[in-house]
Amino acid sequence: MTTFHRGRRLRRTPPLRALTRETAPLLAEDLIMPWFVAESRDADFCKPIPSMPGQFQLGLGQLEKQVARAVDAGLTAVLLFGIPAVKDERASGAYAENGIVQQAVRLLKRRWPALLVITDVCLCEYMSHGHCGLLAPDGEALNDPTLPLLAKTALSHAQAGADVVAPSDMMDGRVAAIRRCLDDHNFAHLPVLSYAVKYASAYYGPFRDAAESAPASGDRKSYQMDPGNAREALREARADLDEGADALIVKPAGPYGDIIRAVREQVDVPLCAYQVSGEYSMIRAAGINGWIDEQAVMLESLQGIKRAGADMIVTYFAESLLRQGLVR
Ligand code: PBG
Ligand code: ZN
């Protein structure tokens, strides 16, 4: 007679493993695909992002083509980032009525009314200096003077037809400023998906190539969170909920599974995790080199994020997962 635990009994066959698996498989509707839309006179503009193989800066025409393929494969939600033709010190392109994201939103919503179009609300892609807020002469990112610009940006996305706005700037009080502005302009129904828990992460490196938004000087550590902090994540989450956020994002995702879990246990709103550019690029690079089974690692990385407690995931793999039939 054996007295030890026989964990292998439930692992013997695929149906037994499936029956006893704790984390449900990923669904198409859990995935949000980010796209980079570039302001270009050439609608067919399509520039590969070297540090993110398989991802591109797209002109409006190319965006439409790529989204069409993804929607046909089952994609239900997109997250838009804009790359303006001109950057300045007030991020004018971020809240221009005919800015690149505003144009993209109108285009996508006209063709696919049911597609969920989420916009990233931030100023860094539109700032000549690459910071997420207005800069003081000494280089400090100013908090309160930045809030009206963020609110204007979110409102302009709403007016273009965005379904959800997602502020990613990490200025204090921005959810309240955006919520108030939306409510004052007949957008009380529009949800705010707040990047509440956003770390100052080196994993954003490839994104900054993609969006041409690396800070020209300094870093983002005075507004994004210190990677050593876990309790602070709960304060940030609560603060954003108090200000009126409808759902929260934790970012990055993979290396912050403990944070996803901790936030999941403390809040009762939908929780999104963002598998960021660096997480994507590392898996792709190792895959391209033949060092890992890329498809398996991609699925495992997302399963880990879901197991940690995320309800939905922003991932650059979304389109390829759907097109390969790995998620439906
Ligand atoms: C803009 C923004 C960033 C990301 C999403 N929104 C960059 C940053 O804060 O530096 C990162 C996304 C990624 O790395 O995939 N504030
Ligand atoms: Zn930013």
Q: Give the span between the Cα atoms of 280 and 252, in whole angstroms.
A: 11
Q: Return the bridge partners of 250, or none.
A: 197, 273
Residue nearest to atom 6 of ligand 1 (CA): 168
Nearest ligand 1 atom to alpha carbon 203: 14
User: Considering the domain boundaries, does residue 13 fall inside one?
Assistant: no
Burial environment of residue 269 by CB neighbours within 10 A (0 to 12, 13 to 18, 19 or more): middle
User: Considering the domain boundaries, does residue 308 fall inside one?
Assistant: yes
Q: Give the span between the Cα atoms of 292 and 284, in whole angstroms.
A: 9
User: Considering the domain boundaries, does residue 258 fall inside one?
Assistant: yes
Q: Residue 198 catalytic?
A: yes
**Centroid of ligand 2 to alpha carbon of 24 (angstroms):** 33
pLDDT in tens, 119-172: 999 999 999 999 999 999 999 999 999 999 999 999 999 999 999 999 999 999
**Centroid of ligand 2 to alpha carbon of 87 (angstroms):** 13
User: Considering the domain boundaries, does residue 20 fall inside one?
Assistant: no
User: Considering the domain boundaries, does residue 142 fall inside one?
Assistant: yes
| H/E stretch holding 35 | strand 31-38
Helix extents (H) in the chain: 14-19, 60-72, 100-111, 147-160, 174-184, 205-210, 231-243, 257-266, 277-288, 294-308, 318-323
Residue range of the domain that includes 204? 25-323
User: Considering the domain boundaries, does residue 49 fall inside one?
Assistant: yes
Ligand nearest to the CA of 195: 1
User: Considering the domain boundaries, does residue 19 fall inside one?
Assistant: no
What DSSP character marks residue 30? G
Question: 3-state DSSP call for residue 87?
Answer: coil
Q: Residue 251 catalytic?
A: yes
**Centroid of ligand 2 to alpha carbon of 73 (angstroms):** 30
User: Considering the domain boundaries, does residue 1 fall inside one?
Assistant: no
Query: Out of 87, 152, 251, 306, which one is annotated catalytic?
Result: 251
Q: Return the bridge partners of 194, or none.
A: 248
pLDDT in tens, 17-32: 999 999 999 999 999 9
Question: What is the tally of structural domains in the chain?
Answer: 1
**Centroid of ligand 2 to alpha carbon of 297 (angstroms):** 29
Q: Give the span between the Cα atoms of 291 and 308, in whole angstroms.
A: 26
pLDDT in tens, 208-265: 989 988 999 999 999 999 999 999 999 999 999 999 999 999 999 999 999 999 999 9
CATH number of the domain at 38, please. 3.20.20.70
Q: Give the binding-site residues of ligand 1, using a 6 Å CB cut-off.
A: 120, 122, 124, 132, 168-169, 204, 207-208, 220, 276-277
